[in-house]
Structure 1
Amino acid sequence: MKALNQILIVLLVTTVFSCKKTTSEEKVVSETVTEIRNDIQRVEPPNWWIGFKNQSVQLLVKHPNIGNATPKISYQGVSITKVHKADSPNYLFLDLEISKTAEAGQFNIRFKLEDDSELVQTYELKSREKPAKDYIGFDSSDAIYLITPDRFANANPKNDEVKGLLQQGIDRADDYARHGGDIQGITEHLDYIDDLGFTAVWPCPVLTNDMPSGSYHGYAMTDFYEVDPRFGTLEEYRKLADDLRSRDMKLIMDQVANHCGLQHWWMTDLPFKDWINYQELYEENIDNWDWKVTKTSNHRRTTNQDPYASKKDHQEMADGWFVSDMPDLNQRNPFMANYIIQNSIWWVETLGLGGIRQDTYPYSEKEFMRNWAGAIMSEYPNFSIVGEEWSYNPLLIGYWQDGQKNKDQYDSNLKSTMDFAMQKNIVDALNEAESWDKGLVKIYEGLANDFAYTAPKDIMAFLDNHDKSRVYTEFDGDLIKTKMALSYLLMMPRIPQIYYGTEILMDDFDNPGDHGLIRTDFPGGWEGDTVNAFTGEGLSDAQKEMQSFLKKILNYRKTSDAIHNGKTVHFAPQDGVYVLARMIENETMVHIINKNEDPLELDLERFEELELKGKR
């Protein structure tokens, strides 16, 4: 009789439970994960977090014939709100809602197939390591050190070759081959970078570039969620970020929203018919695409602003492939748009980034770029993003800065753009030989164009980078001009960026402007190097002088309130002299460029408003 009563009680409980109506406010019993399962080929993002302002995430699921599966999640606070089939049967896109009640943990996503079999993928929600407001971006108080990782330092020769990748081996004699530099090489030399006075590091991309050639530069990504094993591991990337933070320094990630590499894993099975631009043309001409791609792109970035631009010109600029081996991503496809936005946020959260540099900014759909930057800045209000606008026209540079009152009402949500205009002005001004004042006026009037920017000191200025000739080459090996230019750069109301090796006068004299040569190996980064810039061994007197000069200015700049926040005043060039001042309550900084061969005495009466009399 006792056993029978137990059976009746169980049946009664089961009946009550099965008849009870559930509501969205009631708790769902979470499935206990007793075994980690990874039956699915790809799920991206590979994990997510609780506590975001935007409580939804869209998962890309890639597996043979997964399109006909029925997914299910049993985890408190997480629900599937919509399932999207793709054009390819090998994809599903799952919209998940993560409520405020959701807790960090692992859960299984179960995919029931048409034959009633089941695939299981374990997914993880993580706790965020710090509040969104604590993701502090770079600003004008920072000085950024730009590095091409393959050419900086090879700390781990064991990862120089990785089986299975298309490009094998290293050849330091070939400027376009891989040379072996890695993430660990940057981490091991943070003492050097910190001691010089830099406060942030921007490495060119280190994600997987499984391309048959040119894979060293990192801009043809074939996996947006994987660190290239020839650069290291995700753990080593995190260590770089952590070690920088421990020094109160920032890691800026170089990202690419416009294109991927031709060997990206999805190129053999694209999810949708419009996943990339000119997809139909590409699929029809795969064997002859290198020729066809030249017909799809005009690189006319001004069509973004030009009120008279033809639709055809704008389409060829926005949709055309950057180069033949970099497919142009179609951000008008909402799944692609979500993919790129979530990928950026995933890296911000995974690495605790101090900023993003976005490559080829004007080439993407500008409405998407507004949404992309807006989504990031909404989650991280104190963050920073700089976009590459390779233009010498301040109007085009200023167009992309957040808050700009553009006639077409476009607001980018982008805090910073890159100042190619001032780079050219500085180089041209100091190289001008016919008339000293005429040359210096190019700098003077260049800075006067700051009225075109909503926030001039949030613009990123530079003298050289991974795409432009070395500044020492631009000045034909003139040490004095190089010093003038660098000191002026560090005084301007800007965020300064300096390319690795500029501090030791690295050059590209043999072939000015050649990308492979611009990205020369940093001496001392490889075992057996006879010159070591990290220790000073083998450097010339001029190299040591420049290194010491830059170190002194950078370290002073770190604590200069006048440079960070001061008022800017400059005086029109006279008699071959140009004066720039930065002023705040108890500090006045004055920068003087004198293009005369001999010393010149200045009459302080002209500079009376700077209140320099009696000061040292």
Structure 2
Amino acid sequence: MTRSALLLCLLLSCLPPLHAATVERVEPENWWVGMRHRQVELMLHGQDIAALQARIAHPGVRVTGVQALDSPNYLFVTVEIDDDATPGALEIELLDGDAVAARHPWRVDAREPAPPRGFDARDAIYLVTPDRFANGDPGNDSVAGLREAADRANPDGRHGGDLAGMRAQLGYIASLGFTRLWPTPVLENDQPGYSYHGYAITDLYRVDPRMGSNDDYRALSREARAHGIGLVMDVVLNHIGSEHWWMRDLPSRDWINNAGRFSPTNHRRTTIQDPYAAPGDRIGFTDGWFVETMPDLNQRQPQLARYLIQNTLWWIESAGLAGIREDTFGYADAGFLSAWAKAVMDEYPDFAMVGEEWSPNPAIVAHWQRGKANASGHVPHMTSMMDFPLHIALRDALLRPDTWESGWTPLYEALANDFLYPDPQALVMFAENHDTTRLLAHVDGDLGLWKLGMAYIATMRGIPQFYYGSEVLLRGPSERRDGELRADMPGGWAGDAASAFTGAGLDARQREAQAFVRRLFNWRREATAVHGGRLVHYVPEGGVYVYFRDDGAQRVMVALNRNDSATPLPLARFADSIGHAREATDVLTGARLPLGESLLLPARAPLVLELD
């Protein structure tokens, strides 16, 4: 080669780079034009790429910064996307000096129509454990390359339920009157065992192949909307699974709490607000691990914090979500939780999110709801929280003997704590979920008490959440054994002897319960008084708890009778709430009832009346 040819070759970068590289991952894989969050920090992973620079040549898209951490195999590249950027495919070039050491495809997309509104008291949420709901595609029950295969005989194993199963039963869910679907996490959980529940995520950008694909998840959301149902994603910010690919090559030494070594959390959630809590106890709560298979994330690490925020925004935008349920909410860093929720609500002002703070103390739960002025200085942005205090009080009330200080009274008095919440109407009410014994087991199979509990969550202030299968009286154990309480939905598998979806093989009690749920929640879907009406409740007497909902256009009276026999209810005490109404319609039977001097309440049953 002549001297002039060599110079030309150098100018044209035709010599191989001194540092050849391969990019194995870029997360997120795309972003959108027109997002408020327009500066995106990409995580690039590949062998020895940390020393490289980055370049993008695409209209309206540019690299504004790069950051390397402790591992030589990560490069964090900040990309800014202008509002007038051209949607389409592009390449990220990694540079060793002036030479291109690696290229990787990326893209910016035009935005789809805005996601649906979030959830509020107009909605009722149907909670599903996907692996146990319906097996729509038996071909993905076990997937080569993933650690745990299907074993339906094992209560703690994978049973094969999937996204296809949920898609096939969207009509059924809608027919029950539910308007939001919350599946427990569906992202990859490539753990050796006990992976069906979804809370040990090993890839935050990938649906577990045993559930389906990312495209299947988008299809679920799209088809759910066609049935009048919004999809709520279960998000885990506190921890990952021990087989997450990060654990083989951590981006930084401080990525995982306790230097990446197992140290259990003390579960002392009061330490976040306790002005006297020892700093070590507070750190022991937030930085401790749930279990050894769930490494605890350090959200104070800035690249990780941005990664988690962007991951949430990506799923909302990508899948057209209608809401988020955030797992183990208070266990993550409080400052991060504020920044995360604010970023979501800034991007999607009509969105809704509910956090899990499993405490019987309403002051602890209220600390996290948007609008709460906290002495700690924490500024929350969560629209909703799971109402664990009222959940616990309800379950106690159904079993306690009827005395002056027991029976319904503790539930009645628990509601008085609503003054602590900025917006009690936005709280999510529930009688059971995937982490509790089922209500039917709690009341030892008593269908009357079960109906009382379900009627309460459907008519009380807030947003009701119902757990799949309870409409056909899935019972489960009386003590918490997760694999058993998260039982397979009858009819979700070919060859099942009975089917909740078709009614085949159900016994009389199951049909009665399913009809009760269908009638109650379909009525609730149109019941404006329950959606936002004023609540007035009366001190329980003689085993009966009475309350009213009234929005001016509709008045509803609810009487919950825990007694074993029919009970006369004198109505003079409720004259202010009944007003001039002289008749009412029984919501559950359609019967017309006169409102005279008294009502005869059915034994061990709810009476829900629309007043004329």
Q: Do both share a fold (TM > 0.5)?
A: yes
| CA contact 1:437–1:575 (8 Å) conserved in 2 | no
2:107 paired with 1:139 = no
What residue identity is the alignment partner of 2:426? D
2: CA distance, partners of 1:71 / 1:520: 50
| CA contact 1:135–1:380 (8 Å) conserved in 2 | no
Task: Give, in angstroms, the shift of residue 313 of structure 1.
Answer: 0.3
For 1:356-404, what per-residue CA distance to the aligned partner results, in whole angstroms no more than 9, with x for missing partners? 0000000000100000000000000000010000011111111111101
What secondary structure is seen at the aligned counterpart in 1 of 2:394?
helix
What residue identity is the alignment partner of 2:60? G
Task: Give, in angstroms, the shift of residue 62 of structure 1.
Answer: 0.2
1: CA distance, partners of 2:553 / 2:70: 65
Poorly superposed stretches of 4+, deviation over 4 Å:
none
2:341 paired with 1:373 = yes
Task: Give, in angstroms, the shift of residue 409 of structure 1.
Answer: 2.7
1: CA distance, partners of 2:227 / 2:251: 43
Query: More helix by proportion, 1 or 2?
Result: 1
What secondary structure is seen at the aligned counterpart in 2 of 1:439?
coil
| CA contact 2:167–2:220 (8 Å) conserved in 1 | yes
2: CA distance, partners of 1:316 / 1:586: 51
Q: What is the aligned partner in structure 1 of residue 15 from structure 2?
A: none
| CA contact 1:437–1:576 (8 Å) conserved in 2 | no
1: CA distance, partners of 2:153 / 2:359: 33
For 1:271-306, what per-residue CA distance to the aligned partner results, in whole angstroms no more than 9, with x for missing partners? 1111111125x2xxxxxxxxxx3x442111111111
Q: Provide the TM-score with structure 1 as the length reference.
A: 0.89
Equivalent positions of 1:68-467 (< 5 A) are: 68-113=51-96, 116=99, 118-131=101-114, 135-168=116-149, 170-279=150-259, 282=261, 293=262, 295-435=263-403, 438-467=406-435
Q: What is the aligned partner in structure 2 of residue 482 from structure 1?
A: 450
Q: What is the aligned partner in structure 2 of residue 518 from structure 1?
A: 485
2:47 paired with 1:67 = no
1: CA distance, partners of 2:461 / 2:439: 20
Unaligned runs of 5+ residues in structure 1 are 1-37, 283-292
2: CA distance, partners of 1:487 / 1:386: 22
| CA contact 1:436–1:575 (8 Å) conserved in 2 | no
What residue identity is the alignment partner of 1:247? H
1: CA distance, partners of 2:276 / 2:119: 36
Query: More strand by proportion, 1 or 2?
Result: 2
Q: What is the aligned partner in structure 2 of residue 29 from structure 1?
A: none
| CA contact 2:238–2:332 (8 Å) conserved in 1 | yes
What secondary structure is seen at the aligned counterpart in 1 of 2:207?
coil
1: CA distance, partners of 2:381 / 2:489: 36
What secondary structure is seen at the aligned counterpart in 2 of 1:202?
strand
2: CA distance, partners of 1:586 / 1:149: 39
What secondary structure is seen at the aligned counterpart in 2 of 1:342?
helix
Task: Give, in angstroms, the shift of residue 115 of structure 1.
Answer: 9.8
| CA contact 1:341–1:375 (8 Å) conserved in 2 | yes
| CA contact 1:437–1:577 (8 Å) conserved in 2 | no
2:570 paired with 1:603 = yes
What residue identity is the alignment partner of 2:492? G
| CA contact 2:327–2:355 (8 Å) conserved in 1 | yes
2: CA distance, partners of 1:487 / 1:556: 12
| CA contact 1:181–1:231 (8 Å) conserved in 2 | yes
Q: What is the aligned partner in structure 1 of residue 561 from structure 2?
A: 594
| CA contact 2:238–2:329 (8 Å) conserved in 1 | yes
What secondary structure is seen at the aligned counterpart in 2 of 1:226?
strand
Task: Give, in angstroms, the shift of residue 80 of structure 1.
Answer: 1.1
Single out whichever of 262-271 and 68-77 deviates more from structure 2: 68-77
| CA contact 2:127–2:181 (8 Å) conserved in 1 | yes
For 1:200-247, what per-residue CA distance to the aligned partner results, in whole angstroms no more than 9, with x for missing partners? 100000100010011101000000000100001111111110011112
Task: Give, in angstroms, the shift of residue 114 of structure 1.
Answer: 6.3
For 1:237-269, what per-residue CA distance to the aligned partner results, in whole angstroms no more than 9, with x for missing partners? 111100111122100000100000000001111
Task: Give, in angstroms, the shift of residue 312 of structure 1.
Answer: 0.5
Q: Provide the TM-score with structure 2 as the length reference.
A: 0.90
For 1:174-193, what per-residue CA distance to the aligned partner results, in whole angstroms no more than 9, with x for missing partners? 11110000000000011110
For 1:104-148, what per-residue CA distance to the aligned partner results, in whole angstroms no more than 9, with x for missing partners? 1111111123694531111100111024xx541001110000000
Task: Give, in angstroms, the shift of residue 600 of structure 1.
Answer: 2.4
For 1:398-426, what per-residue CA distance to the aligned partner results, in whole angstroms no more than 9, with x for missing partners? 11111012222322101111011111111
What secondary structure is seen at the aligned counterpart in 1 of 2:568?
coil
Single out whichever of 193-202 and 159-168 deviates more from structure 2: 159-168
Q: CA RMSD in A?
A: 1.4
What residue identity is the alignment partner of 2:440? Y
2: CA distance, partners of 1:211 / 1:78: 38
For 1:577-609, what per-residue CA distance to the aligned partner results, in whole angstroms no more than 9, with x for missing partners? 110110121311111011223322222221111
2: CA distance, partners of 1:437 / 1:529: 46
Q: Residues 583, 329 of structure 1: CA spacing in aligned structure 2 closer, same or farther, 3 A cutoff?
A: same
2: CA distance, partners of 1:225 / 1:104: 21
What secondary structure is seen at the aligned counterpart in 2 of 1:224?
strand
Unaligned runs of 5+ residues in structure 2 are 1-20, 585-612
1: CA distance, partners of 2:416 / 2:212: 45
What residue identity is the alignment partner of 2:136? A
1: CA distance, partners of 2:305 / 2:546: 47
What residue identity is the alignment partner of 2:535? T
1: CA distance, partners of 2:264 / 2:258: 8
For 1:22-55, what per-residue CA distance to the aligned partner results, in whole angstroms no more than 9, with x for missing partners? xxxxxxxxxxxxxxxx952000011000101132
2: CA distance, partners of 1:279 / 1:484: 49
